C-alpha cells in the first residue's frame, strides 16, 4: 500500500515541512530527515534566495511539492502561467508526486488565497476531476488531492465530503493526500463521525498523510498548524494507517514555529503507529 | 440550482467584501447585496453558528491574510502614513484591486498606479508615499527576480563603444524625491523573507509598533536596489552613473550611454580625465557586483518611464 502509482512507487517515511526559520539549522547541522515537503508557490520564483536554498536542500534530501493555489475546484480554467512555473519547479525538484487541495479559491481571475470548501455536487466533482487530469497530463507527475478543513457547508451539496472525495478521485484517477487533522477539524465543525470518514476514503489511492495541530475556539475549530498534534488526531492517524498501511507522513507546522528539533520530534511520534501497522500487514 | 460558477462568484464576492471597522462581516456585500440573505441562501447553519457567522469566518480570514501580506511588504509606507491611514489605504486598494495572481508576492504590484488615481489616500505625504512604494516594490523584485550570467572584471578589457550590455533583472533603478532608503532601513532592514505561504489559517494580525516619519525634508536621490549574497541592498548612485546604467538597460551601446549621460558644452580636457577615471571606476564596481550582463539582440529595448523610474525586469 505505501508505494503506489499515486506516489511514484516510493516508500518515503516521516517528513516535515521545509520552513524559513529552519533553513540555517538544516543547512548547517544536516539533520537526518526522511523527506521535506515544500510549499510549491514559495519556490515558483525566478531566482534569489528561495531557489538557492532549495537547491542546497535538494542536494541532500528528498523533497515533495505541496501546492496551495492550484484550485482544482474553481469553475474557471487552470491558470496556464501557474502550470508553466509549477512544471519548471517539478523538473527542478524531481518530486515523485505532487499535491494540492480539493478546494476552490479563485473566480473571474480574482484570488482569495484561501482554501474555500467545495459544494459537494456531481457538477463540481466533474469539473474538479477534469482539471486534475489536465494538470497531471501537463505536469507529467502523479497528483494527489488533499481534503481541507472547512467551516461552512453548502445547501446545494448532494453527498458527504468523503463521497465527494471518492467521486473526484475516481473520475480523475488521482491519488489522495489524507489530512487526518483536517478530518478532525471538519468533523467537529460539521458534526460528523471522523472515523466514518476515514473508513470510507479510497485506501488504495492514498499517496500521503498529513498530521498537524489546530486551535479551538468556543464555537468552532480553526486549522492553524501552530500546535502539536492532539491525541484524538493521533487516534485518527492510527486508524488511517491501519487501514491504508504505512504511508509517507508529514507534519505541518506553519505558525509559531518552534525549533527544528521540536518539530521533527513531534513528527517522529508517527513512527510508533507506522511500525504497528507494518507488523499488522506482515 | 446554482451552477458551480454562479455559486463561486457569489461566495467570492461575499468573502472579499470589506469588513466593518470592528473587523466583522458587513451587512451588505461590496456590490450591495444583503449579506445575511446571501449567507442563508447558500450556507447551512449548524447548532453553534448561523449561516452568516460561518461565512464571516472566511470573510475575516480573507482580509487578515491579504492585509498581513501588505503589512509585511510595505512597512515603510505604513510608517509614513501611520497605521490608521495605512489600514484605510490597504482596505481601499484591495477592494479595488484584489489579487490577480496565484502568489501573494504580487499583491502590491498595482499599488503605485492605484495611489496615483486615488491621491487622497496619500494625504500630504503623497510624493513621499509613492517614493516608498517604488522602493518597497523594487525590494521585492530584488529578492527573487532572476539572475543572468554576469560579465566579470576581466571582461571589461574587451569592452568597446559599440558594445551593448544589460543589467541584471533583479536590479531596479530609482530616481526619487525623498531619501526613502534611509527611512526604510530604519523601519526594518530585515524584511527579506517573503517565503511565508501555507494553507494554515491566520489567527490574528501582527502589526508591531513601527517608527513614524513626520516632516521628512525632500532630497533628490538616485538609487539602485539590488542583491548581493541573496540579501537586498540599496546603493546610492551619482546622477550620471544612474543615467549610464539606465541607458545600458535600454540597450544603448556603451559609447552612446556615456555620451548621453555627460551632455555639456563646458567640458574641459582636465574634466575629461576626471570623467574617464570616474567611468572606469563605475564599470569596475558594477562588474565586481555582477550587475552587468551580455546584451542579446532579442531583448526588447526598455523605454524610460517618465512618470516614475522603477525599472522592473
For the stretch B272-286, pLDDT in tens is: 888 889 999 999 999
Copy the grid coordinates of residue B90.
Answer: 490597504
Residues 6+ apart with CB under 8 A from A260: A22, A25, A26, A29, A31
Helix (H/G/I), strand (E/B), else coil: B110: coil
What is the distance in angstroms between the Cα of A280 and the nearest Cα belonging to chain B? 33
CB A111 to CB B1 under 8 A?
Answer: no
Q: From the CB of residue A78, how many other CB atoms can be counted at a distance below 10 Å?
A: 18
Residues of A in contact with B98 (CB under 8 A): 110-111
Instruction: Lowest mean pLDDT of A179-193, B133-147, B261-275, name the range.
Output: B261-275
Which is more confident, B205 or B282?
B282
pLDDT in tens, A159-176: 999 999 999 999 999 999
Residues 6+ apart with CB under 8 A from B30: B13, B16, B17, B18, B95
Q: Does B12 touch chain A (CB under 8 A)?
A: yes
Copy the grid coordinates of residue A168.
Answer: 473526484
Residues of B in contact with A121 (CB under 8 A): 1, 4
- Secondary structure of chain A in HEC code, one letter for each residue: CCCCCCCCCCCCCEEEECCHHHHHHHHHHCCCCCEEEEEHHHHCCCCCHHHHHHHHHHHHCCEEEECCCCCCCCCCCCCHHHHHHHHHHHHHHCCCCEEEECCEEEECCEEEEEEECCCCCHHHHHHHHHHHHHHHHHHCCCEEEECCCCCCCECCCCCCHHHHHHHHHHHHCCEEEEEHHHHHHHHHHHCCCHHHHHHHCCHHHEEEEEEECCEECCCCEECCCCCCCCHHHHHHHHHHHHHHCCCCEEEECCCCCCCHHHHHHHHHCCHHHHHHHHHHHC
The candidate with the shortest Cα–Cα distance to A117, out of A150, A92, A87, A143, is A150
pLDDT at A44: 97
pLDDT in tens, A9-68: 999 999 999 999 999 999 999 999 999 999 999 999 999 999 999 999 999 999 999 999
What is the distance in angstroms between the Cα of A201 and the nearest Cα belonging to chain B? 22
Q: From the CB of residue A88, how many other CB atoms can be counted at a distance below 10 Å?
A: 13
Residues of A in contact with B99 (CB under 8 A): 110-113
Residues of A in contact with B169 (CB under 8 A): 46-47
Mean pLDDT estimate for chain A: 96
What percentage of chain B has pLDDT greater than the value 90? Answer: 74
**Phi, psi dihedral angles at A201 (to 5 degrees):** -75, 150
Q: Does B5 touch chain A (CB under 8 A)?
A: yes
Integer angstrom CA distances of residue B248 from A1, A30, B157, B263: 59, 43, 17, 16
- Nearest CB among B7, B100, B147 relative to A111 is that of B100
- A110 by Cβ neighbours in 10 Å (0-12 / 13-18 / 19+) ranks as middle
This model of the complex carries an ipTM of: 0.96
The candidate with the shortest Cα–Cα distance to A134, out of A177, A83, A86, is A83
Residues of A in contact with B41 (CB under 8 A): 155
Residues 6+ apart with CB under 8 A from B129: B77, B80, B81, B115, B122, B123
User: Rounded to an integer, what distance in angstroms lies between the CA atom of residue A251 and that of residue A267?
Assistant: 5
Q: What DSSP designation does B28 have?
A: B
Integer angstrom CA distances of residue B63 from B58, B254, B285: 9, 49, 45
User: Rounded to an integer, what distance in angstroms lies between the CA atom of residue B50 and that of residue B56?
Assistant: 10
pLDDT at B301: 55
pLDDT in tens, B38-77: 999 999 999 999 999 999 999 999 999 999 999 999 999 9
B292: left (phi over 0), alpha (psi -120 to 50) or beta: beta
Report B:207-226 residues touching A (Cβ under 8 A).
none
Report A:158-187 residues touching B (Cβ under 8 A).
none
What b-and-e string marks burial along B75-93, b requiring 16 or more CB atoms within 10 Å of the CB?
Answer: bbbbbbbbeebbbebbbbb
Is residue B302 over pLDDT 70?
A: no
Instruction: Lowest mean pLDDT of A98-112, A181-195, B205-219, name the range.
Output: B205-219
Which is more confident, B275 or A70?
A70
pLDDT in tens, B220-263: 999 999 999 899 999 999 999 999 999 999 999 999 999 988 87
pLDDT at A275: 83
Report A:222-261 residues touching B (Cβ under 8 A).
222-226, 252, 254-255
Helix (H/G/I), strand (E/B), else coil: B206: coil
Amino acid at each position: 500500500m505505501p508505494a503506489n502509482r499515486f506516489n511514484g512507487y516510493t516508500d518515503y517515511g516521516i517528513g516535515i515541512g521545509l520552513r524559513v526559520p529552519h533553513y540555517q539549522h538544516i543547512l548547517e547541522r544536516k539533520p537526518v530527515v526522511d523527506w521535506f515537503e515544500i510549499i510549491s508557490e514559495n519556490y515558483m520564483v525566478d531566482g534569489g534566495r528561495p531557489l538557492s536554498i532549495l537547491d542546497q536542500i535538494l542536494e541532500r534530501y528528498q523533497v515533495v511539492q505541496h501546492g496551495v493555489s492550484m484550485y482544482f475546484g474553481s469553475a474557471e480554467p487552470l491558470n496556464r502561467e501557474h502550470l508553466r512555473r509549477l512544471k519548471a519547479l517539478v523538473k527542478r525538484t524531481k518530486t515523485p508526486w505532487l499535491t494540492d487541495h480539493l478546494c476552490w479559491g479563485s473566480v473571474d481571475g480574482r484570488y482569495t488565497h484561501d482554501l474555500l470548501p467545495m459544494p459537494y455536487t456531481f457538477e463540481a466533482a466533474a469539473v474538479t476531476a477534469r482539471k486534475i487530469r489536465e494538470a497531471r497530463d501537463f505536469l507529467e507527475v502523479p497528483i494527489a488531492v488533499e481534503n481541507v478543513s472547512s467551516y461552512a457547508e453548502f445547501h446545494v451539496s448532494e453527498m458527504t465530503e468523503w463521497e465527494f472525495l471518492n467521486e473526484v478521485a475516481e473520475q480523475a484517477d488521482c491519488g489522495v493526500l489524507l489530512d487526518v487533522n483536517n478530518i478532525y477539524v471538519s468533523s467537529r465543525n460539521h458534526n460528523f463521525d471522523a472515523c466514518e470518514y476515514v473508513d470510507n476514503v479510497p485506501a488504495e489511492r492514498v499517496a500521503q498523510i498529513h498530521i498537524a495541530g489546530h486551535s479551538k475556539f468556543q464555537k468552532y475549530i480553526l486549522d492553524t498548524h501552530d500546535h502539536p498534534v492532539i491525541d484524538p488526531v493521533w487516534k485518527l492517524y492510527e486508524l488511517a494507517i491501519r487501514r491504508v498501511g504505512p504511508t509517507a507522513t508529514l507534519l505541518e507546522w506553519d505558525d509559531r514555529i518552534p525549533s527544528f528539533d521540536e518539530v521533527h520530534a513531534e513528527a517522529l511520534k508517527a513512527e510508533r503507529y507506522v511500525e504497528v501497522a507494518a507488523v499488522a500487514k506482515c | 440550482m446554482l451552477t458551480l460558477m454562479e455559486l463561486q462568484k457569489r461566495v467570492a464576492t461575499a468573502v472579499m467584501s470589506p469588513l466593518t471597522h470592528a473587523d466583522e462581516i458587513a451587512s451588505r456585500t461590496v456590490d450591495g447585496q444583503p449579506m445575511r440573505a446571501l449567507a442563508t441562501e447558500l450556507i447551512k447553519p449548524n447548532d453553534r453558528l448561523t449561516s452568516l457567522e460561518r461565512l464571516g469566518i472566511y470573510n475575516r480570514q480573507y482580509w487578515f491574510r491579504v492585509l498581513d501580506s501588505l503589512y509585511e511588504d510595505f512597512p515603510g509606507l505604513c510608517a509614513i502614513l501611520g497605521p490608521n491611514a495605512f489600514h484605510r489605504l490597504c482596505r481601499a486598494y484591495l477592494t479595488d484591486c484584489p489579487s490577480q495572481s496565484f502568489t501573494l508576492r504580487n499583491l502590491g504590484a498595482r499599488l503605485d498606479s492605484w495611489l496615483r488615481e486615488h491621491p487622497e489616500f496619500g494625504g500630504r505625504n503623497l510624493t513621499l508615499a509613492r517614493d516608498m512604494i517604488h522602493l518597497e516594490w523594487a525590494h521585492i523584485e530584488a529578492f527573487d527576480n532572476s539572475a543572468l550570467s554576469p560579465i566579470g572584471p576581466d571582461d571589461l578589457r574587451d569592452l568597446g563603444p559599440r558594445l551593448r550590455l544589460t543589467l541584471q533583472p533583479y536590479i531596479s533603478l530609482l530616481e526619487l524625491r525623498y531619501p526613502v532608503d534611509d527611512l526604510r532601513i530604519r523601519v526594518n532592514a530585515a524584511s527579506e523573507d517573503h517565503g511565508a505561504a501555507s494553507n494554515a489559517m491566520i489567527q490574528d494580525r501582527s502589526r508591531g509598533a513601527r517608527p513614524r516619519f513626520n516632516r521628512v525634508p525632500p532630497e533628490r536621490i538616485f538609487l539602485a536596489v539590488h542583491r548581493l549574497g541573496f540579501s537586498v541592498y540599496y546603493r546610492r548612485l551619482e546622477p550620471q552613473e544612474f543615467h549610464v546604467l539606465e541607458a545600458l538597460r535600454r540597450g544603448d551601446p556603451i559609447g552612446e550611454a556615456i555620451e548621453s549621460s555627460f551632455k555639456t558644452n563646458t567640458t574641459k580636457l582636465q574634466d575629461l580625465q576626471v570623467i574617464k577615471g570616474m567611468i572606469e571606476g563605475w564599470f569596475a564596481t558594477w562588474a565586481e557586483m555582477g550587475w552587468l550582463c551580455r546584451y542579446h539582440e532579442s531583448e526588447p529595448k526598455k523605454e524610460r518611464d517618465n512618470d516614475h523610474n522603477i525599472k522592473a525586469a
